[in-house]
Amino acid sequence: MYKIFIVEDDPVICRTVCEHLSLWGYQARAVEDFSRVLEELLDFDPHLVLLDIGLPVHNGYYWCQELRKRSKVPVVFLSSASDNINIVTAIELGGDDFIAKPFDLTVLTAKIQAVLRRTYSLLGSTNLLEYGPAILDLGAETVAGPGGKLELTKNEFRILQVLMENGGHTVSRGDLMVRLWESESFIDDNTLTVNVSRLRKKLESVGLEGTLVTRKGLGYQFS
C-alpha cells in the first residue's frame, strides 16, 4: 500500500483528499504540527508528498528544499498560486508536478498514479542504457559522461531515458509529455521546458555538451 503524506492547512481540502485517497487504497496521513512538517514526514516515510505552498510557519518551498536535502521522495505541489512563476519555482526546487486549486479529485488521483508509476516501476533495475559517450543507469537513476557521474531527478531521468531510447531521432514535446505524465491534458507545457533546461545543464557538467539538442518546432533529440 502506497503511503501519501499531505501538507495542507485547509481542513476541508485535507479531509476530503484523505478520504478520497483512502477509497483508492492509499494510506493517507495529514500533517498535524506545521512547525514540525519535516519530522512528521520523515517519521511517516511516505511514497509521495502532497504539498501546499501557502502554509503556517514556513511555506511549501521551504519544506521542499529541506526535504530534498534528505530524500528523493516525489513531491506534488497543490496551490491556487498557479501562475508561471510559482510553477517554475516549484519545479526548480525539486517538485515533481504541480496541481492548481481548485482541482478535480479524479485529476488529482490520475496525477498521483502517474508519479507513483514513473517513480517506483524501475526499482531494482540495474540495466544500463548507453548511447555515444553517455551511460544511463536505470536502477540508480544516474548519468555518466566523460566528466563524471551525477544523480538525476525523476523527471530528468525519464526525459533522458526516452531521448536515449530514441537516440539520433527527434522526439516531439507531445510524445515526451505523454511518456512522462501519461496524458498531455495533465501537464503544463512550461514544466517540460524547465526540466529539459535543467537536464541540459547537468549533462554539460559531466562532459556531455551538445548531446541534448532542441529541434525548433519539432521537439528534442539526443545526438
CA 92/CA 193 separation, integer angstroms: 11
| pLDDT score at 184 | 44
Residues with Cβ within 8 Å of 43's Cβ and at least 6 positions away in sequence, in order, are: none
Q: CB-hemisphere CA count at 13 Å for 91? A: 25
Q: For residues 127-163, b (16+ Cβ closer than 10 Å) or e, as one string?
A: eeeebeebebbeebbebbbeeeeeebbbbbbbbbbbb
Residue 219's beta-bridge partner residues?
215
| pLDDT score at 75 | 94
Q: CB-hemisphere CA count at 13 Å for 141? A: 18
Full pLDDT tens readout for the chain, 223 residues? 789 999 999 999 999 999 999 888 889 999 999 999 999 999 999 999 999 999 999 999 999 999 998 888 999 999 887 778 888 888 888 898 899 888 888 888 888 888 888 787 654 444 788 888 899 988 888 999 888 889 998 888 889 998 998 888 898 988 888 777 654 445 567 888 888 999 999 999 999 999 999 998 899 999 8
Which set of grid coordinates corresponds to residue 139? Answer: 536502477
Q: For residues 205-221, b (16+ Cβ closer than 10 Å) or e, as one string?
A: ebebeebbeeeeeebbb
* 123 DSSP assignment: T
- Percentages (nearest 5) of helix, strand, coil residues in the chain: 45, 20, 35
Strands (E), the chain: 3-7, 27-30, 48-52, 75-79, 97-100, 128-131, 134-137, 142-145, 148-151, 170-171, 212-215, 219-222
Please report the domains of the chain, with CATH numbers, ordered by start residue: 3-120 (3.40.50.2300), 128-222 (1.10.10.10)
